[in-house]
Amino acid sequence: MSAGPTVELETLFGDYPLDKAFDEMRESTGEVRPHYRALAEALAKLPQEELQRRKQSADLSFLTQGITFTVYGRDEGTERIFPYDLLPRLVTAAEWDRIERGLTQRITALNQFLKDVYSDAKILSDKVVPRDLVYSCKHYRRQMRGLQVPRNVYIAVVGSDLLRVGEGEYVVLEDNLRVPSGVSYMLTNRRVMKRTFPQLFHSYGVRPIEHYPQLLLATLRSLAPEGRPEPNIVLLTPGVFNSAYFEHTYLARQMGIDLVEGRDLVTHDNVVYMRTTDGLKRVDVIYRRVDDDFSDPLIFRSDSALGCAGLFNAYRAGNVTVTNAFGTGLADDKAVYAYVPKIIRYYLNEDPILPNVETYLLGEEKERQHVLANLEKLVVKAVGESGGYGMLIGPKSTARQREEFARQIEANPRNYIAQPTLDFSRAPCLIGNHLEPRHVDLRPYVLFGDKVNIVPGGLTRVALEKGSLVVNSSQGGGSKDTWVLEN
Amino acid sequence: MLSRVADSLYWMSRYLERAENTVRQLDVTMGLMLETGGSSLEERWQRLMKALGRPDEMEWNGDLEGLARELVFDSLNPLSVTFAVNGARENARQVREEISSEQWQRLNRLFHQMHSPHAQAQFRTSINDALASIVDGIHLFKGVSDTTMIHGQGWQFIRFGRYLERAYATATLLEIYQPYLLHEHERDHSGYQYLEMVGLLRCCTSFEAYCQVYTADVSPDRILEFLLLNEDFPHAIRYTVDGMRDAVHGIQRTGGRRASDDLIAVIGRLQASLGYTTIGEILAGDPAAFLHKIREECTRIHDLIHRYYVQYSIQSALAS
């Protein structure tokens, strides 16, 4: 080809507007950032057809591998491949260093917070976090009071959502401390990307993430009840109709452990067993991918058929480890979230490395009036929800939706928080045959057993619809591979 | 291995075997329907339905292509190939972590093939090619199962399901066909009878194997002898019963729990009834009853497997 790469770069950037949101690839002047240059040049050199061919071959690979998720409420075609974007998102070593330290600090503090709240509740006596806020939380589990959990680890598996705002500063949007999902997409994206751009991958020097399942297994093993040197570890899934079922099977297979459903388990004398072809076999550690509510019909929701009757008592007796512990949703309640910087200072005596997003608590009269007056500028979220449900995005809402939310807020202010609409960062995506920017977040996966482990990377979720700010897979989001660079 | 997982592997295997059996029988029946002599179209169609174990379903309406299409693609019809493939995949999906990625990808491809518009189009242009490509897909899955999966308990349950389904289907097929074979043979010298007999062998992919043993000299008693009593041919009932016994031993060896006495006894009796008899004795007695008995024993074996490995009582398991 005779034309130089810069000319082709322009065609590639044909419809790539920059606005006030931070752009992962380009400076505000339009220059490509140094660490994105090799990627841009490689793309510019690649003939159109070749790029499309690689896209198709990656698509096919996802479909035949059955890397799908389930969409609720449809009969036919309930399985879809998880949409993804072909271009990697790049994270520099310096950025990653900050993320890693910030998350380690945050998880350590949140774990101490959970231990404290479920034992002496000092932080409440010291009035750092309001007592009524904690006790009115939907995910607070009174049953956990005074219960000793192995190694005092409540949150062994965490997936925190980060955004980049302003001039590229990483902030924490939410901490997912119950049953965070998506890690299988992180791992499979990487596998497909290595095949799609092998040379580019090699030339970038990307830190590996493939050992995540092994680390997870080691984490689970480290939490086994005492006196069980060869613990039988299982993954508890709600079953094949769960939206993350693919992930459950994937992780179980990668770790070489049994994937069990509630109906496979029985308890007798406070010991949990699973039904095998060779009779009953004792279970020591349960990596639980079932919500608290559905885990044990004798303790939590009695109409649930997904869990195992007697599980909680066996857990209480110390005969089985269940992780994450019950009641951890308390610490990712969106109203408690507002107090996390204070929680970090209280337990660790340190300043938070990763800041929070500014959050209005609607239980406070003054803040509520401010929010109600400015609904069209803010994002309102229900405190106990996740997955993008129960949300009002002010600038995109209709007057009627705002009225509806205002009414709900007045009726139950504790149930809502509000945050400013964030201009979070955008990364280049391959849309049709050229690049366009789309909003992205980042969910790194944190493991906490005998120490905190974070594989360098995570799931970059993309709001694939133009201008959209919603990255959840249930609401039209996709994903990208995340390359954390060696240096 | 988890009981639920063993059960799913077993059913996955049975469903695939069933799909293959249905495809082959449909293919052979449609081939025979090209002939103008012999039985009428309606008679042949009804015989196919009986041999598939559902004499009252899918009545003959004169539209062979329409019926064939329904028998292959109608995912709501429990007789259909698509229904069986769906069942196999649904079971595989529930034990995704137990089977190899290659197995899953194979089965997934077969599933997508059954549901693609391309398959329907191919069916319009050449039914034979369409059916052959389905059988190919199933064969590939079986091959991949044997070469990529650890030959542990799960594999043994897959094997067990395959042989049980095959024994039952072959016994049903022979039970339906044997009156045609035995009673009309003497009267017919037109060559149609020959086609019928070859058709029966083809239903069990056994024409070539038969020729190797008996030459192309086909006769009803030899066909029955071959499909019932041959020790070395994988579609012969005796071979499949031996296979079941091996699978049960394999399950015991890889698991550690002694196999159920009842189960061993039923399989052993069935083996003996096939191993220590001649085709002459069977024909002198009541061949229909003999074949029917095999089907009943297969049903019992299924029940015993289910009760012993899958749905056992907790009390008895805790006691032992």
What is the C-alpha to C-alpha distance for residues B5 and B181, in angstroms, rounded to an integer?
42
Of B148, B169, B194, which one is at a domain's C-terminal end? Answer: B148
Under an 8 A CB cutoff, do A264 and B2 touch?
yes
When pLDDT is averaged across residues B283-306 and rounded to a whole number, the result is: 95
Distance (Å, rounded) from C-alpha A16 to C-alpha A427?
A: 10
Searching chain B, which residue's CA lies closest to the CA of residue A62?
B105
Residue of A nearest to B75 (CA): A76
In this predicted model, what pLDDT tens digit does every residue of A124-141 receive, in sequence order?
A: 999 999 999 999 898 999
Interval A356-376 mean pLDDT: 89
Reading the block at residue A92, the tokens are 């520099």
In this structure, the answer to whether residues B13 and B65 fall within a common structural domain is yes
Q: Can you tell me the mean pLDDT for B310-318? A: 86
Same domain as B217, residue B129: no
Q: Which range has highest mean pLDDT (A56-70, A337-351, A355-369)?
A: A337-351
Residue B5 distance to chain A (closest CA, Å): 9
Taking residues B73-88, what's their average pLDDT?
Answer: 95
Angle at A103 (CA atoms; ends A100, A105), nearest 5 degrees: 105
A85-130 tens-digit pLDDT:
989 999 999 999 999 999 999 999 999 999 999 999 999 999 999 9
Q: Is the pLDDT of residue B315 over 80?
A: yes
- A277 to B318: CB separation less than 8 angstroms, yes or no: no
Task: Concatenate the DSSP letters of all residues of A78-134 into one string.
Answer: -EEEPPB-SSPEEE-HHHHHHHHHHHHHHHHHHHHHHHHHTTT-HHHHTTSS-HHHH
List CB contacts (< 8 A) between B6 and chain A: 277
Cβ contacts (< 8 Å) between B153 and chain A: which residues? Answer: 277
pTM assigned to the model: 0.85
Nearest by CB to B257, from A252, A275, A278: name it: A278
Instruction: Return the higher-pLDDT residue of A332 and B182.
Output: A332
Interface test with B, best of A241, A243, A270, A277 (most B CBs within 10 A): A277
Min Cα–Cα distance to chain A from B121, Å: 21
More confident residue, A72 or B279: B279
Total domains present in chain B: 2
Residue-wise pLDDT for B203-231, tens only, equals 999 999 999 999 888 888 999 999 999 99
Which residue in chain A has the smallest CA separation from B254? A278
pLDDT band at A244 (very low <50, low <70, confident <90, very high): confident
- Which regions of A283-414 does DSSP assign to beta strands (E)? 285-288, 321-323, 360-361, 378-382, 391-393
- Mutation choice for A interface testing from B12, B96, B109, B304 by most A CBs within 10 A: B96
Which CATH number, 1.10.1740.10, 3.30.1490.270, 2.60.40.10, 1.10.3720.10, labels domain A360-420? 3.30.1490.270
Closest CA to A454 of A139, A150, A152, A162: A162
What phi-psi label fits residue B272: left (phi over 0), alpha (psi between -120 and 50 degrees) or beta? alpha
Domain shared by B71 and B82, yes or no: yes
Q: Which chain A positions have a beta carbon within 8 Å of B112's beta carbon?
A: 63-64
A142-170 average pLDDT score: 94
Is residue A7 over pLDDT 60? no
pLDDT reading at A3 higher than 80:
no
Task: Average the pLDDT over each of A307-311, A359-363, B246-250 and give the range with the smallest value.
Answer: A359-363
pLDDT for residue A240:
85
* A chain contacts of residue B320, beta-carbon cutoff 8 Å: 279
In which domain, by residue range, is B249 found? 151-320
> Which phi and psi (to 5°) does residue A391 adopt?
-130, 145
Banded pLDDT at A6 (limits 50, 70, 90): very low
Given a cut of 50, whether residue A338 has pLDDT beyond it is yes
Domain termination site, one of B148, B179, B194 = B148
% of chain B at pLDDT higher than 90: 69
- Which stretches of chain B sit within 8 Å of chain A by CB? 1-6, 90, 93-94, 96-98, 101, 104-105, 108-109, 112, 153, 157, 251, 255-257, 309-310, 312, 314, 317-318, 320
CA dihedral A307, A308, A314, A318 (to 10 degrees): -40
Is the predicted pLDDT of residue A78 greater than 60, yes or no?
no
Mean pLDDT of all residues in A329-339: 91
From the list A424, A335, A425, A339, the residue with the least C-alpha distance to A380 is A335
Q: What is the mean pLDDT of residues A38-52?
A: 86
Q: Domain locations in chain A?
A: 5-91+426-439, 93-185+210-351+442-484, 360-420
User: Looking at the structure, do residues B170 and B260 belong to the same domain, yes or no?
Assistant: yes
Mean pLDDT over residues A477-482, rounded?
Answer: 91
Looking at residue A421, its pLDDT comes to: 87
Look at residue B29 in the predicted model and tell me its pLDDT. 92
Please list, in sequence order, all residues whose beta carbon lies within 8 angstroms of the beta carbon of residue A109, skipping any fewer than 6 positions away.
A340, A343, A344, A346, A347, A348
pLDDT at A5: 43
What are the chain A neighbours of B105 within 8 Å (beta carbons)? Answer: 64-66
Antiparallel, parallel or unpaired: β A459-463 and A434-443: antiparallel
Model confidence at A351: pLDDT above 70:
yes
A272-284 pLDDT per residue, tens: 999 999 999 999 9
ipTM over cut 0.85: no
Are A206 and A483 contacting, i.e. CB atoms less than 8 angstroms apart?
Answer: yes
B110 and B188 co-located in one domain: no
CA B256 to chain A, closest CA, distance in angstroms equals 7
pLDDT at A73: 41
Per the structure block, which two tokens stand in for A423? 């201009």
Residue percentage of chain A with pLDDT more than 70: 93
- For A362-387, what is the mean pLDDT? 84
Tell me which of B148, B182, B201 is where a domain ends.
B148
Facing residue for B3 by CB, picked from A245, A268, A276:
A276
Residues B206 and B121 in one domain: no
DSSP character for A374? Answer: T
Closest-CA residue of A relative to B317 is: A279
Residue A322 has pLDDT above 80, yes or no: yes
Residue A324: cis peptide before it, omega within 30 degrees of 0? yes
> What would the pLDDT profile of B175-209 be if each residue is shown by its tens digit?
999 888 877 655 566 677 888 889 999 999 999 99
The more confidently predicted of residues B57 and A221 is A221
B19 CA to chain A: closest CA distance, Å?
21
Q: Give A391's pLDDT tier (boundaries 50, 70, 90).
A: confident
Contact B178, B289 (CB under 8 A): no
Residue A355 confidence (pLDDT): 95
